[in-house]
Amino acid sequence: MSDIERYIQTRAERDVEFAENYEAGYADFKIGVILRRARESAGLTQEEVARRLKTKKSAISRIENHADDVRLSTLRRYADAVGADLQIRLAQSRLVIPISPRSSSHTSGRRPGR
């Protein structure tokens, strides 16, 4: 386990709110990084992608930096604009953050409903 994984696990054990929000926040961040990398791999600037999508550079920046509520249709259009295929995959998390018994009656280390 890496130092960052140890830190995340330790913090999640101490901070219930962190544990509950970590996974969603990380997923949002990761989507933005994937979008930016796809654009850069295509050799495009944010301005060029914006022109292809008939929008403003600020909208592309917002998508790449705050990808917390991006519509699937927007992701499809973005992928087309950078010459990429959009693929969606559901997978189990690599890192399971345990929730301490004192914060929940569910003690399997996974959030209820997952």
Q: What is the mean pLDDT of the chain?
A: 81
Q: Give residue-wise pLDDT tens across range 5-58.
A: 787 788 888 888 877 777 777 776 788 889 999 999 999 999 999 999 999 999
Task: Tell me the domains of the chain and their CATH numbers.
Answer: 3-81 (1.10.260.40)
Q: Tell me, what's the pLDDT at 52? A: 98
CA distance 66 to 36: 11
pLDDT band at 99 (very low <50, low <70, confident <90, very high): low
pTM comes to 0.61
**Which carries the bigger pLDDT value, residue 22 or residue 80?**
80
Q: Tell me, what's the pLDDT at 5? A: 78
Q: Tell me, what's the pLDDT at 103? A: 42
DSSP assignment, residue 52?
A: H
Buried b (16+ CB within 10 A) or exposed e, 85-113: eeeeeeeeeeeebebeeeeeeeeeeeeee
